[in-house]
Structure 1
Amino acid sequence: MLGATGTIGRATVRALVRHGHAVVCFGRAGATASPGVTVREGDVTDPVSIARDGFMGQHFDAVVSCLASRSGVPRDAWAIDHQAHLQVLRAAQTAGVPQMVLLSAICVQKPLLAFQEAKLAFEAALVESGLTWSIVRPTAFFKSLSGQVDRVRRGKPFLVFGDGTLTACKPISDDDLAEFLVGCLTDPARQNRVLPIGGPGEAQTPREQGEQLFALLGREPRFKHVPVLLLDTIIGVLSVLGRVVPPLADKAQLARIGRYYATESMLVWDASAQRYDAAATPSTGQDTLVDFFARRLRGEAADDRGEHAVFK
């Protein structure tokens, strides 16, 4: 198991154990050992460490990866989303591992950013590897959509880009996604396939998500509309300054990522029709975003966005 320290990774470890699998988590410190789980610390970017500290000459039935670059900037994306995965894949082939389940992202179907290209490059390598594979491309995570819960509770308006209907998604919870990932190990219908997946219910726009949050608080909806042009301006300025001050180039890339998510839906892309198709986006699970909002408001669910926090 790779990426076991992230929120999706931790949920996937729990699901693996729940389904009776013996789990070995490999990577940086932070994974928690529990019955049925062994933690091995090592460096996923070092092929020697992967073999010596990870596989250790043992037999494994499968590799499951929820590993992803933390920032999405080009050097991190190619180092983790592509190269680290490629090194794990080679080690798995050498060790005779027959199967790999990869958590990818639905946004790679319309790639405009470095991390998307890096993910696609590894997806292609996995497909050609000879292993039984499953590539899971989820839509938006609950944690990615919960950044405004606290600001709205404090009386601030809900921020939307444009009119709040530029994009839509089928939000999926950590636990529902984890169950889907684990099911790929045993369900032949999920093997040797690219699998877009969303949570239950209809696709939702940011405006609809805001309306749900205000309804839970018993308040009239209040929105602040942010023009996409503002992001374009920020990207332009940071790109120019980044030629002189290298750290600003990374900030420009992060702004490009933000613009992508502000203007592109996390749904299946119909290339022939040049549109996103909510009806073609499969659903799974039972957890809903509005229920998650309610748990957050009651203090029963944590805001675990870490360095990805945007709204305050």
Structure 2
Amino acid sequence: MAGTSGTIGRAVADALLADGHTVTCLNRREVGVAKDARLAVARFDDRASLGKAVATARPSAVISCIASRSGAPKDAHAVDYQANSNLLVAAERAGAEHFILLSAICVQKPRLAFQHAKLAFEAELVASSIDHTIVRPTAFFKSLSGQARRVAKGGRFMLFGDGELTRCKPISDRDCARFVADCVFDPARRGQVLPIGGPGPAISLKEQGELLFEAARRKPRFQSISPRMFTVIARILSVAAPFLDWFATKAEYARIAHYYATESMLVLDPESGEYNEEMTPEFGEDRLADHYKFLLEPDG
């Protein structure tokens, strides 16, 4: 499997090992290898190197948890699309029967470079000769924890608008990993695109803040900013984007910030065009409130 240097990929590898599977971690460097897993080192931009590593592992299933770290256009194309495409070619040539892709629920309404890159590879995977399963998780606990330390120190929780613009059903690394690992031998999940969230109900940004203040045992203190700020920043930076990559990258960061400030991480109802809490499947047992409590413990 690829992408075990990240927290989700590492959790998937651990889940597979706990189930008794033989796991080969395919990495660019000798890092992020789960205990008792094998290691294969290869460059994802080198089809020959990658093909040799995958062929040596002789996988029945290939799992990809790789994703661009920045979301910048060049990084998104190189990782979310091209690295996965190269891995798919290697998997086909090695005789793998099943390719499981960890994607993202936000590709339902693509406006960003990394979303288009993910969708391009999803289409390529669906058209390939290998059975596929595409998993699209909602928000992860980690992505909703960026303000934890500030709140713990008595700071304000930053809201976009009134804090009710978006909602999500966050899922833990462990629960997401268990769902992905279960895809290996569940025939009902083959040939499927599977959105998945954690236990409901869906919560807003303001409710996330309230959970954090409760975990920190502090009185709620909020500060609101307008998502339009990111749109203005993106427009200004985009003027110079055709001439310098730095401006193009920063403009994309602003667009990413605006997207997550205004779009829910729930299933998009194709008929109404609205995000639908009831249509968003739930899985697992871990709760965001418990994660916050653990995170804000002295040794968390």
What TM-score do you get using the length of structure 2 for normalisation? 0.96
Counterpart Cα distance in 1 of 2:46 and 2:112:
25
Offset at residue 32 of structure 1 (A)? 2.5
Cα separation, partners in 2 of 1:300 and 1:172, compared to 1, 3 Å: farther
Cα separation, partners in 2 of 1:9 and 1:180, compared to 1, 3 Å: same
CA contact (8 A) 1:31 1:39 kept: no
Cα separation, partners in 2 of 1:38 and 1:58, compared to 1, 3 Å: closer
Cα separation, partners in 2 of 1:122 and 1:238, compared to 1, 3 Å: same
Q: How does 1:292-311 map to 2 (within 5 A)?
A: 292-301=291-300
Offset at residue 188 of structure 1 (A)? 1.6
Offset at residue 86 of structure 1 (A)? 1.0
Structure-2 residue corresponding to 1:283:
282
Offset at residue 34 of structure 1 (A)? 2.0
Structure-2 residue corresponding to 1:102:
101
Structure-2 residue corresponding to 1:20:
20
Cα separation, partners in 2 of 1:243 and 1:66, compared to 1, 3 Å: same
Offset at residue 299 of structure 1 (A)? 4.1
Secondary structure, aligned partner of 1:25: strand
Secondary structure, aligned partner of 1:258: helix
Secondary structure, aligned partner of 1:63: strand
Offset at residue 218 of structure 1 (A)? 2.6
Q: How does 1:143-182 map to 2 (within 5 A)?
A: 143-182=142-181
Offset at residue 296 of structure 1 (A)? 0.5
Structure-2 residue corresponding to 1:6:
6
Q: Which amino acid aligns with 2:122?
A: E
Counterpart Cα distance in 2 of 1:278 and 1:23:
35
CA contact (8 A) 1:164 1:205 kept: yes
Q: Which amino acid aligns with 2:289?
A: V
Offset at residue 184 of structure 1 (A)? 0.4
Superposed CA offset, 1:56-112 (max 9, x none): 445211001100111111111111111111111111111111001100000001111
Q: Which amino acid aligns with 2:165?
A: L
Q: Which amino acid aligns with 1:20?
A: G
Counterpart Cα distance in 2 of 1:191 and 1:166:
34
Counterpart Cα distance in 1 of 2:121 and 2:63:
14
Cα separation, partners in 2 of 1:33 and 1:162, compared to 1, 3 Å: closer
Offset at residue 241 of structure 1 (A)? 3.6
Contiguous gaps of at least 5 residues in structure 1? 302-312
- Pairing 1:214–2:179 present: no
State percent identity of aligned pairs: 49
Q: Which amino acid aligns with 2:123?
A: A
Secondary structure, aligned partner of 1:252: helix
Secondary structure, aligned partner of 2:163: coil
Structure-2 residue corresponding to 1:305:
none
Counterpart Cα distance in 2 of 1:275 and 1:3:
32
Counterpart Cα distance in 2 of 1:118 and 1:299:
40
What TM-score do you get using the length of structure 1 for normalisation? 0.93
Secondary structure, aligned partner of 1:26: strand
Offset at residue 128 of structure 1 (A)? 1.2
Q: How does 1:18-167 map to 2 (within 5 A)?
A: 18-29=18-29, 30-35=31-36, 37-52=37-52, 54-167=53-166
Structure-2 residue corresponding to 1:308:
none
Structure-2 residue corresponding to 1:307:
none
Offset at residue 21 of structure 1 (A)? 0.6
Contiguous gaps of at least 5 residues in structure 2? none
Q: What is the alpha-carbon root mean square deviation over aligned residues?
A: 1.3
- Pairing 1:201–2:200 present: yes
Paired residues, number: 299
Cα separation, partners in 2 of 1:207 and 1:58, compared to 1, 3 Å: closer
CA contact (8 A) 2:55 2:94 kept: no
Counterpart Cα distance in 2 of 1:240 and 1:108:
26
Counterpart Cα distance in 1 of 2:203 and 2:108:
20
CA contact (8 A) 1:238 1:252 kept: yes
Offset at residue 33 of structure 1 (A)? 4.9
Counterpart Cα distance in 2 of 1:73 and 1:46:
21
Secondary structure, aligned partner of 2:239: helix
